[in-house]
Amino acid sequence: MNSYQKALRINKRKVLLTQIILFVLFVLLWELLSQIGLINDFLFSSPSKIIKLLISYFKSNEIYKHIMISLFETIIGLIIGTVFGILFGIVFWWNKFLSKVFDPFLVVLNALPKTALAPILIIWAGTGVFGIIVVSVSISLILTIISSYNYFKNIDEEKILMLKSFGANRLQILFKLVIPYNIPNLINLIKINIGMTWVGVIVGEFLVSRMGIGYLIMYGSQVFKMDLVMMGVIILAVIAFIMYEIVNIIEKKIRKNRGI
């Protein structure tokens, strides 16, 4: 390892260490302030109370069903939103006429606050798991279509010409240039969609469910148990972080395979 690499590594560790210190300080301060009564732990809860509650939820095995159902809804919503979004992106790339026709509709749908439509969607799609998935897809789908279409159409014209000079047809241009070229962009899209799908799932669970992390948070706020609300938020943060990291690992593998 040369001195530059060493410096890089030390710098990376410094960042991580500072992050950990900041986090620990924040938790300690929160705990301390609630212990001495400077903040009201009935309103703001406290780390120790949250951990106690978390342990009891894990002991009674009750937490698992909440995590599982939310996770299930999110993963299905993420897959549907991303896959169909990209498929529509491909269709619009393939057919200029369709992309022109649908452009204003997509712009309006994108500008609309989708969470405002959630109550209607739930009524249409049913109040079960399916309805919640529909809400989560509605949030990620439109932006995925617009973004992926923009990625696809912004490919260098001369690169396409290069393929055509070898006699490539449109299908070859799609699969040998447009999609592989945009793999890093599509992975980024998945990362963005993880967050958006979670928003959809939580909103959906706020509205109708009797289970899930969104339900826990909603229930906690209704009975004024802030420990429960905070616990829900923390579980949510941890799971979202893990999902994000999984995509990161996949991305690194792909990058390595492509020598980038």
Residues forming contacts to another protein in the complex (CB under 8 A) are 156, 158-159, 161-168, 172, 176-177, 180-181, 183, 258-260
With b meaning 16 or more CB within 10 Å and e meaning fewer, what string describes 116-147? Answer: eebeebbeebeeebebbbbbbbbbbbbbbbbb
Decide whether 62 or 156 has the Cβ nearer to another protein. 156
Min dist CB 168 to another protein, Å, is: 5
Whole-number Å distance between alpha carbons of 43 and 58? 24
Four-point Cα dihedral 250, 255, 257, 258, nearest 10 = 150
Burial of 166 (C-beta count, 10 Å sphere; 0-12/13-18/19+):
exposed
Min dist CB 27 to another protein, Å, is: 43
Decide whether 7 or 162 has the Cβ nearer to another protein. 162
Decide whether 84 or 181 has the Cβ nearer to another protein. 181
Phi and psi torsions of 80, nearest 5°? -65, -50
Two tokens at 77?
A: 């919503």
Look-up: residue for tokens 């302030």?
33
Decide whether 13 or 153 has the Cβ nearer to another protein. 153
Decide whether 53 or 178 has the Cβ nearer to another protein. 178
CA 80 → CA 77, 112, 138, 142, 237, distances in Å? 5, 20, 10, 12, 22
Min dist CB 159 to another protein, Å, is: 5
Decide whether 31 or 184 has the Cβ nearer to another protein. 184
Single-letter amino acid, residue 243: M
